[in-house]
Amino acid sequence: MENKKQSKFEEFYNDDRSIKYSITQHLSMLLEWTKSPSDIINEVLITHLAEIKSQYDSFTISSEDLLLERKDVIIYGEAGSGKTTLVKQLIRKLLNREAPLSAIPLLIRGMEISDGSLVNQLCKIFNISAKENVSSHIPGNLVKVLSENEFVIFIDGLDEIYLYKSGEYDRILNEITDLSKILQNGNIIATSRRYAQIQLETFAKMEILPLTEDQIKQFVNNNTNNNELYYRIKELYPEFLRSPILISQLILIFNRFHTLPTKHVLIYRNFVNTMLEEWDEKRNKTSLDSISFNVDSVYNFLSFFAFTLILNGQHAIDKRVFINTFNESILFDTSYSFKDDTLIELLTSTGIVKETSDNYFSFIHLTILEFFAANYLVKLPKVPPIEIMKRSPNTIALCILLSSNPILYLRILIDEVIKVDWGNEIQEIVISLLFSTYNDSSQKEKTTIEKYFKGVAEIFDKKHWSRLEKELKFSTDETNND
């Protein structure tokens, strides 16, 4: 079976050597990508993930069985739960041709869909003209290569299309449905954050299970040589135990400072500061040492870059726009003058910004983008517009936590939002913001939050207020929300 598939693919290659060259380049890129550490952190690599569980059934399935079943699947997971790491593992298995696996992996990342078309991204991989076929809207050559060979198409980050490509969202979902029908010998595996319930009826919906306590304990101990740190994390940040990436950030911070931050938001700040400080130390030993562009300068640019992406509903921009964004960020500072290539080397060497295979630039992870955007937004003279709240609620949650008075900031934000829109979607977002603020507050601050929300209980729909009472254990003695 495997030899038949390989020979059939080679036969197709021989018909069009430009396709052979292009797919070989793509597979080489995937090989390097899967060898590299987790995008979020170089020092720590999650090497073992928990099983994947169906959202509607009780069964679990291993990553290898997921490949063997050849089902179209959406895998949900919280931010930092290991979705991209899982994709890396699955692709690595296919690249290694681990028997009985024989399919050829293709990768498309949500943030890299720059022109609103999944089909166009596949055409780039195969070096096929993206001119549409009148009947199917998919080029005939692409239909031929996908239908006659065995591929697994990985789409990592469907939620990023949901949030940042809303204008093309329905089109992309239709393309996924059409591609699923064409892949007679293959399948599609997509990942998404949980809030974006993707409407693809024929796809099985699954989620990544949390790591077990033993896995986390072993992971922490192996990377810190501190047998007590796991219990300290469990005490201070029990919810972080669901997120491999957040655990990795805590380990990096602990290894550098030998202590843990007292508040959640400080984890992001300390992690970013650690990466930039290490970048500055390494830069001093390279040709970039002579460039007068320090950590504060990079921090300010990254904040402006992230704000620009969030404002425009983007996750990545091309080289020209990236350079223009930098020039705009230093508009009133004439002390910097870089050649384009030097600028790109300078910024990508931080480990926080990366250049993709098609010369687009983005942050290494969505959570880092959200942190830097919040760092910029919170310094503006007014609260962010409601459009940004809808597009990126996690960014607004970080704005609240980064502000000098989170409770006051949250109250002002809600007062402004009520004037514009107080529908179901906004109430859900406000509740998520409240949870973020409440969980990162002292006991005295929590009492203040409870008092404020009991005073405005009547503005919430009954189901939303019931959720607040249940999740935050608000007492109903002082509240009458009929």
Taking the chain (482 residues) in runs of 10, the rounded mean pLDDT of each run is: 41 60 85 61 34 54 78 83 82 79 86 74 83 60 87 89 66 88 90 76 82 80 84 80 77 85 82 86 63 80 92 84 86 65 84 78 85 93 85 86 88 84 78 77 78 77 75 52 38
| Assigned domain for 264 exists | no
| Amino acid found at 229 | L
- Choose among 157, 28, 150, 151: nearest CA to 87: 157
| Long-range CB contacts (within 8 A, 24+) of 273-278 | 275/350, 275/351, 275/352, 276/350, 276/352
| Assigned domain for 358 exists | no
From residue 97, alpha-carbon distances to 6, 47, 115 in Å are 11, 19, 33
Tell me which residue range forms the domain holding 131: 2-208
Which residues touch 213 (CB under 8 Å, ≥6 apart)? 241
From residue 412, alpha-carbon distances to 4, 352, 385, 437 in Å are 65, 32, 12, 14
| Assigned domain for 429 exists | yes
| Amino acid found at 213 | E
End-of-domain residue from the set 145, 180, 208: 208
Neighbours of 225 (CB within 10 A): 9
155: exposed, middle or buried (C-beta count within 10 Å: 0-12, 13-18, 19+)? buried
| C-alpha R_g of the chain | 24
Residues 321, 114 contacting (CB under 8 angstroms): no
Which strands form 187-192's sheet, in the order they lie side by side?
60-61, 52-54, 204-208, 73-76, 187-192, 151-156, 104-109
Decide: pTM greater than 0.75: no
| Assigned domain for 43 exists | yes
| Assigned domain for 235 exists | no
| Assigned domain for 72 exists | yes
| Assigned domain for 249 exists | no
Cα torsion 206, 250, 473, 371: sign: negative
Domain count, the chain: 2
Q: Please state the length of the chain.
A: 482
- Choose among 402, 171, 135: nearest CA to 266: 402
Which residues touch 403 (CB under 8 Å, ≥6 apart)? 378, 409
| Assigned domain for 477 exists | no
Q: Looking at residue 2, what is its pLDDT? A: 39
End-of-domain residue from the set 208, 237, 257: 208
Residues 361, 354 contacting (CB under 8 angstroms): yes
Give the DSSP letter string of 156-217. E-HHHHHHH-GGGHHHHHHHHHHHHHH-SS-EEEEEE-TTS----TTSEEEEEPPPPHHHHH
Residues 366, 315 contacting (CB under 8 angstroms): yes
What CATH number is given to the structural domain containing 136? 3.40.50.300
Q: Looking at residue 479, what is its pLDDT? A: 41
End-of-domain residue from the set 187, 208, 229: 208
